[in-house]
Structure 1
Amino acid sequence: MFRGSMVAMVTPMLEDGALDEAALERLVEFHIEHGTDAIVAVGTTGESATLDHSEHAHVMRRVVEIAAGRIVVMGGCGANSTWEAEQLTRCALEAGCEAALLVTPYYNKPTQEGLYQHFSHVAGAVPLPQILYNVPGRTGCDLLPETVDRLADIANIVGIKEASGSLERAEEVLERCGDRLDVYCGEDARNLALMNAGAKGCVSVTANVAPSFMHRMCKAALDGDQTEAEALDARLAALHNVLFLETNPIPVKWALHTMGLIGPTLRLPLTPLSEQHHEALRQALILADVEL
């Protein structure tokens, strides 16, 4: 249903921690101008864990309003409470998002049956296309392929962002249910490999700072132009690494601030990028032809 480079967009903030409305508009226009295929608003990279419900709903609504139909907008709607995930997904529907991205419930470690019931409940309650998100390194919860297989039979569960750290895992999901839902890579360093295996695109942190390269790489990979895809991915490889030298979105917010697109603010408990990493990130941005 959705294809290509989908940016997990940061949420810009003012020095006092309030939402930066001007910078938010600037980022949406930046992605439209540079070919990004979809925006995920208020996902992990958007510091969803530190936004309250009203802010969360506001950011989704504003991104949809600014986009004005020019780019696909998805809302990050995951929560460790099924009721909360349902409410956020309803907010995404009311805001005009075209899909919801739902991370597995973090911290409380549900069973596989609990995960099935969580996602099937939200899908049944809110008639919006929904994309599962498996990232056990952050959540302490792993959505296994057999559970994804069960969920793939639900009509409005249309995809999964797979970030388990295992290419073999993603390939198993593709083999089991790739004909019923789309698989998207959730780890930038594996984007090309997973698209070569059958994924339909990626939900990318790197696309925040190099949207044109990421869009072109995804397009080349999906069009079967392996030579072009490999060349573009090689230019992005350093960025894939340095953007995770500290916890995401610490490095990517520093990069976007250096590019003049946003202020440097993160909400506690996240703190600014350590100075020791500044030069490595600056050089990776230059390699990817990012204007500083």
Structure 2
Amino acid sequence: MTAYIEGGWTVRRIGGAMTSLVTPFKDGVLDHVALMAHVEWQILNGIDGLVACSIAGEGAVLTMDERTKVIATCVEVAEGKVPVIATSGTNCTATTIEETRQAAALGADAALVTLPYYSKPTQKGVIHHFERLAASTDLPLIVHNLPSYTAIDLAPATLDSLAAIPSIIGIADGTGDIGRISAWRSQLPERISLFSAHDPTASTAALSGAQGAISAVANVAPRLFSAMQHAAAAGNLSAVFALSERLLPLFQALSLESQPATVKQALHILRDMSSDVRLPLVGVDPATDAMIREALLSAQVTYKRHCPPADIHRLG
């Protein structure tokens, strides 16, 4: 993976199709074998990056020991083929620093840091949060803007302040507002990449100038999602539209209930991965399960089932 030097920072190139990985559980316990198989399968199917311990990975309900195992497993299995990005944002600056330092020590290439949720800080508080974090760790940072979860949004003036922090290398926006991509692109320096964190508009964001997308649906259809992002980056509109139309039923079905419950149900249907989620999340309703099955058929997503990790290379 190509690296570049920017402002004194050596950063593994981050972009393209990045999977917001689910965390497999079995009887309530982290399923290490299933995680290894899933990570390797993602890489073999063309994914450009792995995001660990995110919302899709139930990061908020993982213990520190589980976080360590998940991040370490991703780094170990990736073997430098693709960057590993560890999610570390919380509503506590001290805890965010601790989790980001942990990710750096485990070999993560960057941290995805969600704006502090629940506390609803002012824009000034957001700026100080990231300034303190950047002063406490050398790990490159990607700011994750997700107002539907955090109840706060980035203001244009805040972007200017964040752009002045050298270790911030990207901003991932989960609003689905495509107008932001072009507006923010003109406002931010070239060294800061823009990423989509909204599956239904990921291809449009790429066509509008985003350098990549962080996707939960890519857990289920990594090859299709990766092909769509690469086609968008190349400006191949006919391929983008065809792939987007094929993926649309999945985007819709996997949004019927909370992710990752829907994503895990899809993986359970296709690959026998456990659909277990931790409370307060619960498994999907039967009606949602039926919609997911229908969407998988419509998208023509198929996998070889009952495939042990040793046979993972046979997957198509």
Scaled by the length of structure 1, the TM-score of the pair is 0.96
Deviations 1:231-269 (A, max 9, x none): 111111111111110011110010011112521110011
Q: Hey, what does 2:21 align to over in structure 1?
A: 9
Corresponding residue to 1:208 among 204, 210, 219: 219
Corresponding residue to 2:256 among 239, 245, 251: 245
* Aligned AA (2:101): R
| Identity value in percent | 36
Corresponding residue to 1:160 among 161, 164, 171: 171
1:152 shift after superposition = 1.2
* Aligned AA (1:3): G
Q: Hey, what does 1:80 align to over in structure 2?
A: 91
- Indicate whether 1:287 and 2:312 are aligned: no
Once residues 152 and 36 of structure 1 are traced to their aligned partners in structure 2, the CA distance between those partners, rounded to angstroms, is: 27
Q: How does 1:1-292 map to 2 (within 5 A)?
A: 1-15=13-27, 17-177=28-188, 179-291=190-302
Contact preservation (8 Å) 2:24, 2:276: yes
* Aligned AA (1:256): L
1:213 shift after superposition = 0.6
* Aligned AA (1:32): I
Deviations 1:187-222 (A, max 9, x none): 111111111111001000110000001111111111
* Range that drifts further, 282-291 or 6-15: 282-291
1:178 shift after superposition = 5.2
1:134 shift after superposition = 0.5
Question: What SS class does the counterpart of residue 198 from structure 1 fall into?
Answer: coil
1:154 shift after superposition = 1.5
* Range that drifts further, 138-147 or 151-160: 138-147
Contact preservation (8 Å) 1:149, 1:173: no
1:68 shift after superposition = 1.5
Contact preservation (8 Å) 2:181, 2:209: no
Once residues 178 and 253 of structure 1 are traced to their aligned partners in structure 2, the CA distance between those partners, rounded to angstroms, is: 38
* Range that drifts further, 143-152 or 46-55: 143-152
Structure 1 stretches of 5 or more lacking a match? none
Contact preservation (8 Å) 1:45, 1:205: yes
Moved over 4 A (4+): none
Structure 2 stretches of 5 or more lacking a match? 1-12, 304-316
1:82 shift after superposition = 0.5
Contact preservation (8 Å) 1:109, 1:140: yes
Once residues 91 and 261 of structure 1 are traced to their aligned partners in structure 2, the CA distance between those partners, rounded to angstroms, is: 32
Question: What SS class does the counterpart of residue 161 from structure 1 fall into?
Answer: strand
Question: What SS class does the counterpart of residue 55 from structure 1 fall into?
Answer: helix
Once residues 77 and 154 of structure 2 are traced to their aligned partners in structure 1, the CA distance between those partners, rounded to angstroms, is: 34
* Aligned AA (2:26): L
Q: CA RMSD in A?
A: 1.2
Once residues 181 and 236 of structure 2 are traced to their aligned partners in structure 1, the CA distance between those partners, rounded to angstroms, is: 22
Contact preservation (8 Å) 1:28, 1:66: yes
1:123 shift after superposition = 1.5
